[in-house]
Amino acid sequence: MSMRKNIIALSLFEAAKVLKEQENPAPETSSTDVPTDNETGEAITLDHILDRFNTIRSGKSFQDPEVYGKLTSLYKIMTPEDKVKLNQQLRNIGAVVQNQIPVGMQDGATAPEAAAAPPSEIPSPAPAPAAPSPAA
């Protein structure tokens, strides 16, 4: 193929690409969009995050050999940037839970207004089973 034919083919390819992008523009995202879970597609809200924390709190101990092994495997595949981000976020969450000032708010930034109260939909514990009657 001659040089001229290559240039024309490339020009046509680029023009087709531009037309395709104009027909199907990429969806615009704004900073106000609610992020979604990659697996479920549902919106990630504070309630979803708190539910995840409660799942962690009610699970097995991190000292359990099986849990420790799986966490070690997960840690090994994380990028260094993800490890830094995770560490910082866990530090900030720990500070909030311990009624301390998170790192991002220590530089004079004002803390956001706290919610009046957490949701009141806390499930009540199930009643204890009745004791068996003594055998006669």
Tell me if residue 33 falls in helix, strand or coil.
Answer: coil
What's the CA gap between 44 and 33, in Å, rounded? Answer: 11
Q: Of 88, 116, 114, whose CA–CA distance to 103 is shortest?
A: 88
- Mean pLDDT, consecutive 10-residue segments, the chain of 136 residues? 66 72 65 78 87 89 92 93 92 86 68 56 58 63
pLDDT the model gives residue 72: 93
